[in-house]
Each structure stands twice: as C-alpha cells, then as structure tokens.
A and B are shown apart, each in its own frame.
Chain A
Amino acid sequence: MKRIIYMLCLLGLTACVPLKPTPIPTPPAVFGSAATAVTIEPDWFVESWRGDQILLKYDSIGEWNIPSTFGRLFEISSHTYTPLELNDSIFSIMQFCPSTQIKSIIQSMIKFGAMIYSRSRANT
C-alpha cells in the first residue's frame, strides 16, 4: 500500500502537500502599524517575491522519507495567498535574474525561464 501511495506521490506531488489557509498572525508590536502579515504552511519557504506574486518553495522530508523540493507561484495580497500555477515542478533555484520584466521571468521560471546558480568543483 505504501508503495502505491509513494508512486502516486511521485506522479502528483501536489496532491501530497496540504496547502490550506492558516490564521493570520499579528505583527510584532515593535513594528507597529508598519507591517502586515501573512501566514503560510510549515515547510513552505519564500524563494522570491515580486509585486503581487511570490514564489514559494516546499522543502521537507515526506512521511515516507520522500525528499520534496519544488516551487509554486502564488498571487499574494495583503492577507491572503492563492496558487497561480498548479503544475509544480521539482527544482533547485538560487535566485531569479533581475529584469525589468520580472513577472514574465518569474512565470517562465515555473515553466522554466532564467535563473542564476552556483556550481562547485573539486580541487584539481
């Protein structure tokens, strides 16, 4: 049974990851009215943010030790976020390239567009 679920997860990783709205936190008092807040699920992390779009990365060890790292693009407003892209893709990204057409780059990133990354080599 676990093997079947594992395969289903690999085929459709999205279905294995809960993504439900959670309570909105109250910004720390030290920020006063200068901050607004949004809550996202644990194991989701901000990868990049441009305007009303935010790229979140899911990074966790699954219940059956399935390493899961992929990104998903969201539209973000003052207190909520909603998925824009349903076809998540496994990826490892360090950063988007700056550009005047950031939105199109972010959107094409998911399908994939341009990125910057580092590559390490052993001593020779």
Chain B
Amino acid sequence: MTEIWIIDLVSGTEEKILTIPHSIADQGRHVNDIGLSPDEQWLIIEVGNIGSEERDIYLANLNSGDIELILSSDVGLAPQPWSPDGKWIVYIRDFFADPESIFLDQEMIIFNPFSDCIGESLSLPDRFGGGFWSIDGNTILLNMASAERNSLYFLNLEQIFGKPYTGFTCQSSD
C-alpha cells in the first residue's frame, strides 16, 4: 500500500493523512504525483503504470478517506494543480489529433474535480510539462525542456481565456 504523510521538519512531527489501498496503487502501479487542496481537505493523486504512459487521477477526501477515480488515460496531473479557491485543477492531456500522425498533441485543461467537468482548455503548440497555478490564481506556469535549456512560460489566464479564473464555469463533461 501507499501512505501519504505530512512531515513538519522543524518540529519533527509526522502525520499520516491517507492510505491508498492495493487496489489503486500496487505492484505495477505507483503514485506519481499528489496535490493537496488549499483547504487541505482534498488530495489529488496521479497513479502511473510501470511500462506504460497510462495514468489515472484520483480525488481523495482526507476526512473520510474515500478515494474516487476522476480521470483516466493520457493525463498528466500538474505539479501544483489547484486553483487558489480549490474549485479547479489543471492537467495536461496527450492525444492524437490526427490518427495518422506519430506526433502527440497536447492540451492544458482546467477541470472541476467535484463536478467532473471541463472549464477551459488550451491547445499547446509543443511538448509542455508542469502546470503550477499561481497563488493569486492569475497565472499558470508551464515548462518546456530540451537538452539545451528549460524554458518557463507564465500564462496569464485572463488574457488567454478572456476572463479571470474566478469566472470559469463548467463547459462540458470530460
């Protein structure tokens, strides 16, 4: 099983906040990334499969311990996924826009994990990673790494989507 712990390295105290059962993370499946919600009541968990690009994203209620699958397949949870109000998460989806193409396309998706709906999406022009939502909610940081350099892009959400993140509403189900 996998346990999620919070450790205060100043006081040295540790607290286990979640146990992920074998059925979710077991041999061949492991926790890639986690994101604690701003109110510290919810945990977003990305579970990957060894030897496969397939990933699943779960939402855990830290009060009850319940864990629910919310997204599957070619999704990559952002390392800092939560909006400041705790209503949205950001992830990057890989897909083939052209079935004949050997090159993957990507889009950044703003997703409501509680209503299971997409608020906004943005096609990405290249191979991006990251997804760090700023503390004021106005910007998402993406990065694009190459052998020569690692470029960080700070996207202004209001300029991209024409409204601040507080104005996002559910557009469609995923």
Contact = CB atoms under 8 A, between A and B. Distances in A.
A117 interface: yes
Interface residues of A, number: 46
A38 B132 CA distance: 14
A115 to B, nearest CB: 6
A13 interface: no
A14 interface: no
A27 B36 CA distance: 30
A121 B26 CA distance: 9
Which residue of A27, A38, A49, A108 has the most chain B CB atoms within 10 A of its CB atom? A49
A114 B143 CA distance: 25
Given A35-B154, A38-B152, A98-B40, A113 B159 contact: no
Contacts of A34: 155-156, 159-160
Interface size class of B (residues with CB under 8 A): 35 or more
A120 interface: yes
Given A114-B7, A118-B2, A38 B151 contact: yes
Interface string B109-136: 0000000000000011110001010111
Contacts of A116: 4-7, 17, 34, 36
Contacts of A121: 1-3
Given A28-B153, A37-B152, 7 more contacts: A27-B153, A34-B160, A40-B152, A112-B10, A114-B10, A115-B7, A119-B2
Given A30-B123, A35-B156, A95-B36, A25 B151 contact: yes
A123 interface: yes
25 contacts: A22-B149, A30-B123, A31-B160, A34-B160, A35-B154, A35-B156, A36-B153, A39-B152, A40-B151, A43-B150, A45-B143, A46-B132, A46-B152, A51-B134, A51-B135, A113-B8, A113-B9, A114-B10, A115-B9, A116-B6, A116-B7, A117-B7, A118-B4, A118-B34, A120-B30
Contacts of B4: 116-119
B34 A49 contact: no
Interface of B: 1-10, 17, 22, 25-27, 30-31, 33-40, 79-80, 82, 123-126, 130, 132, 134-136, 141, 143, 145-156, 159-160
A41 B145 CA distance: 9
A116 B10 CA distance: 13
A97 interface: yes
B157 to A, nearest CB: 8
Contacts of B35: 95
Contact of A50 (B3, B30, B135): B135
A25 B3 CA distance: 40
A102 B135 contact: yes
A48 B36 contact: no
